[in-house]
Structure 1
């Protein structure tokens, strides 16, 4: 109704001509602040959690980064000089997935509940981590992962496995993983590639591309030889053979 009145009386045009400042404030869509806390070319995961759970969240963030997932942890990623509510909103508006650490007190937290509601409204993927409490309300349709008593590295692995099982995220996440693996020390890289292969989620072709993009050293190739041979990674294409037509009618 309001939109029809504005259109009928050209109220927006009047403001644009007579009160430019008010026109910009009222009729120009709000611009989102730059969400510069995300790591470039990584999957963006907003982690909704209680502020009392900071230590474990920091460890979870570090382990997710090994898998090419940039986790937004409010207490770490918001600079003191910025309005934290604006930064949280920017994170929610630009996230690819929401990871909710559902533990006692989560349901009573206005902020956690609103963050989940924001994700539901945007229809982004939600992955609950069940740490003593089950998802509830509209959020209850997501079964999530049981994480109570598990160490952060194992939780991170299970988060990645769950996200890779979503077909619409798989190809992009594998690209992010390859980028992250290229930066890891040898032991960690070899271990995580072995874990990824054991899940049997990625196709041989996808693993081939990942291995070729992961900047493997000779040492790493030797330890991963079985996987490399199986998926056919690092094979140089056979040179095309040219056929020559002989004409017996041409004299020497």
Structure 2
């Protein structure tokens, strides 16, 4: 059966979202296997590259590629996400036992400081909505999952299925060791020691992991740039400047946005040392800046 225009748009958009965090080599291998075009050179970001390369795919290969990436059509897609996600944030599913919802909510608040929107079932589902349906929406659209490993986690059908769903989608699955160690298929995945540790420290460690992880670093870089450019205080500009200096991903459009911020955002412009540090980042990350600016001064 032929795909509808809406299904094609959803597939193409979500394929680009799923593939863009990978390396160029990995993306080309996947695209090639499903008959999509590839290019030896590309002057823009990986997301636009994938969209362009799969533009001519017929319905069959397009649907096969979507199936390979566990993409489903419907209202709860990356293109049209559920309302509980905050746009411009990293979307994290916090898998936890009901009796530990207070800790999950505290971690949710701590992660929000870093531009991470967390789904906590006992907090984010409206009383009149279908419980299972909302959880499935969150699992289908989250960027990553964190398992809060309290005693009995492995005995809960819900938490086990949540972790299994995320592993099947191929999104990053981290665990926080609280009262038990990781087990089963996600036992080899990255784990954080959360026992007797302040929730703010756990949030910071998770933030660092997402900043560096191949499948989240691109979106997280966008989030850092967004937050820096809209800094509302000198302190915030200084804090986020450090994160800009450590970006794992650099996009050409960052240069214009950063320079606009140090020119037009007073909290960035007058934050001691920040404009100079940002200019240094631009010169390091965008060598053409040096060449172009020097050549502009040449009289011939």
With normalisation by structure 1, the TM-score equals: 0.70
Partner of 1:228: 278
Partner of 2:96: 49
Unaligned runs of 5+ in 1: 1-28, 245-252
Contact 2:218 / 2:249 at 8 angstroms: preserved in 1? no
Q: Does 1:141 align with 2:191?
A: no
What are the Cα deviations for residues 68-100 of structure 1, in whole angstroms up to 9, with x where unaligned?
Answer: 222111112111110111000110111111111
Q: Distance in 2 between matches of 1:104 and 1:210?
A: 49
Partner of 1:83: 130
Partner of 1:172: 219
Q: Does 1:218 align with 2:240?
A: no
Contact 2:227 / 2:240 at 8 angstroms: preserved in 1? no
Secondary structure, aligned partner of 2:93: strand
Q: Per the alignment, do residues 192 and 108 of structure 1 end up closer, same or farther by CA in structure 2, a change over 3 Å counting?
A: farther
What root-mean-square deviation, in Å, do the aligned CA atoms of Structure 1 and Structure 2 show?
3.5
Which stretch of structure 1 is more off in the superposition, 126-135 or 178-187? 178-187
The aligned runs of 1:37-116 (5 Å cut-off) are: 37-116=84-163
Which one has more relative contact order, counting CA pairs under 8 Å at least 6 apart? 1
Partner of 2:248: 202
Runs (4 or more) in structure 1 with deviation over 3 Å come to 29-34, 180-185, 200-206, 208-211, 213-221, 235-244
Q: Distance in 2 between matches of 1:145 and 1:152?
A: 12
Contact 2:104 / 2:120 at 8 angstroms: preserved in 1? yes
Q: Distance in 2 between matches of 1:204 and 1:189?
A: 21
Unaligned runs of 5+ in 2: 1-71, 284-288
Q: Per the alignment, do residues 231 and 143 of structure 1 end up closer, same or farther by CA in structure 2, a change over 3 Å counting?
A: closer
Partner of 1:20: none
| Largest Rg, 1 or 2 | 1
Aligned pairs, number: 214
With normalisation by structure 2, the TM-score equals: 0.60
Which stretch of structure 1 is more off in the superposition, 82-91 or 156-165? 156-165
Contact 1:182 / 1:213 at 8 angstroms: preserved in 2? no
Q: Per the alignment, do residues 242 and 191 of structure 1 end up closer, same or farther by CA in structure 2, a change over 3 Å counting?
A: closer
Q: Distance in 2 between matches of 1:186 and 1:232?
A: 22
Partner of 1:3: none
Partner of 1:21: none
Contact 1:181 / 1:214 at 8 angstroms: preserved in 2? no
